[in-house]
């Protein structure tokens, strides 16, 4: 499906909202106003937004820790996200973790991120198989990292999904590092999409900094899955532009490598494309930026004014003790 002008501006809005949220989230933490684990999204906006945009509302998505763009476009509001990050009662988990782990909402067909990597994969496969059993034309999509793609559950999920012909799309966010470990130190293949060959399913590589390219590849994989074609492994190549989480200065990443990728910043690339193709002019981009800034400031005010959870609610949602 080709993108309309309205679609393109919407994609830009989600990317810009993600970037604004990210920058303010990091600033809050540095000012001592944040609480828990804080994972930067910088560099991943084209993947989380481009892939998420390829889904229908009925499809299920299981994102990971650099996919806030996908959470946003699925309908998790900045207010709920900041309330979660600040550990407030109005957050998604009612203030239980002050983190983006577990920030799911099944009413939005959004499975919360499972911290154990890559355990969102078998769960997304379970969702995909439920669609098969119920004969529903729905698809499950999940994300994983380059590091997580070297673990057992990744391979088991691919194998089972292939054998079951599951309507599942797995997007690898190959950002060159798993914590402090560069790709070359944890695998001997440099195109992780090749891992699909071992399971008899398609493996597709896409430039993870080009949002429309990500959208097109994922959209084709989603429609293939929906029409009974089975799973696809998509490898989106990008770069983690900051440390693993905010405590990590990433001194181990060569500065030249970061400079190379900074020149291909996904948000700037999309702005340049929209302007070059005369989809809009600079004032429209600025207006969207202004809207995002207002929305994010409102969310921070809301989250900071929200109460902490009541101690007597601590056992709510605990299923085993
Ligand atoms: C089973 C498991 N082992 C270790 C960790 C700790 N951990 C969290 S993120 C991470 C690195 C993940 O790297 P990658 O999969 O490439 O994702 P990225 O953070 O680069 O997006 C590690 C080791 C974990 N969450 N789960
Ligand atoms: Mg990685």
What CATH number is attached to the domain comprising 145?
3.40.50.970
- Tell me what pLDDT residue 34 has: 85
Q: Which ligand is nearest to the CA of 176?
A: 2
Angle at CA 156, nearest 5°, toward 155 and 158? 65
Whether residue 320 lies inside any domain: the answer is no
Nearest partner of 16 among 303, 300, 285, 302, judged by Cα: 285
Whether residue 206 lies inside any domain: the answer is yes
29 lines ligand 1 (CB under 6 A): no
Contact (CB, 8 A) for 224 and 231: no
143 lines ligand 1 (CB under 6 A): no
- Quote the CA–CA distance of 80 and 4 in Å, as a whole number: 29
Q: Is 81 helix (H, G, I), strand (E, B) or coil?
A: helix
Atom of ligand 1 nearest to the CA of 173: 21
Whether residue 264 lies inside any domain: the answer is yes
Span from the CA of 106 to the centroid of ligand 1 (angstroms): 24
Contact (CB, 8 A) for 215 and 11: yes
Whether residue 250 lies inside any domain: the answer is no
- Quote the CA–CA distance of 242 and 269 in Å, as a whole number: 19
Total count of domains within the chain: 1
Atom of ligand 1 nearest to the CA of 117: 26
Q: Whose CA is nearest to atom 12 of ligand 1?
A: 178
Please give the residue range of the domain that contains residue 178: 5-244+259-307
Whether residue 312 lies inside any domain: the answer is no
pTM over 0.75: yes
66 lines ligand 1 (CB under 6 A): yes
The mean pLDDT values, 10 residues at a time, for the chain of 321 residues are 93 99 96 90 98 98 97 98 95 89 93 94 98 98 98 98 98 98 96 98 98 98 98 99 96 98 98 98 98 98 97 86 60
CB proximity list for 95: less than 8 A, separation 6 or greater: 83, 84, 87, 88, 89, 308, 309
Whether residue 161 lies inside any domain: the answer is yes
Span from the CA of 174 to the centroid of ligand 2 (angstroms): 6
Whether residue 316 lies inside any domain: the answer is no
Whether residue 253 lies inside any domain: the answer is no
């Amino acid at each position: 499906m080709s993108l309309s002008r309205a679609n393109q501006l919407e994609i830009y809005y989600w990317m810009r909202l993600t970037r604004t949220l990210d920058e303010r989230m990091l600033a809050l933490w540095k000012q001592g106003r944040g609480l828990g684990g804080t994972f930067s999204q910088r560099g991943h906006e084209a993947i989380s937004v481009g892939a998420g945009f390829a889904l229908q509302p009925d499809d299920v998505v299981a994102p990971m820790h650099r996919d806030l763009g996908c959470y946003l476009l699925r309908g998790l509001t900045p207010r709920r996200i900041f309330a979660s990050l600040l550990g407030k009662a109005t957050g998604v988990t009612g203030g239980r973790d002050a983190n983006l782990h577990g920030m799911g909402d099944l009413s939005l067909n959004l499975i919360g991120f499972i911290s154990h990597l890559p355990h969102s994969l078998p769960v997304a496969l379970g969702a995909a198989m439920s669609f098969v059993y119920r004969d529903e034309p729905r698809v499950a999509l999940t994300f994983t990292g380059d590091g997580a793609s070297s673990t057992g559950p990744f391979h088991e999920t691919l194998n089972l999904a292939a054998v079951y012909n599951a309507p599942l799309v797995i997007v690898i966010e190959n950002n060159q590092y798993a914590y402090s470990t560069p790709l070359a130190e944890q695998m001997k293949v440099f195109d992780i999409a090749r891992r699909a060959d071992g399971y008899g399913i398609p493996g597709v590589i896409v430039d993870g900094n080009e949002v429309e390219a990500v959208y097109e590849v994922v959209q084709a994989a989603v429609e293939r899955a929906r029409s009974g074609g089975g799973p696809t492994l998509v490898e989106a190549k990008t770069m983690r532009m900051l440390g693993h989480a905010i405590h990590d200065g990433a001194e181990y990443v060569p500065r030249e490598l970061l400079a190379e990728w900074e020149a291909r910043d996904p948000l700037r690339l999309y702005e340049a494309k929209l302007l070059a193709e005369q989809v809009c002019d600079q004032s429209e981009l600025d207006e969207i930026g202004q809207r995002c800034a207002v929305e994010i400031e409102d969310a921070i005010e809301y989250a900071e004014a929200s109460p902490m959870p009541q101690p007597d609610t601590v056992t709510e949602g605990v299923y085993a003790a």
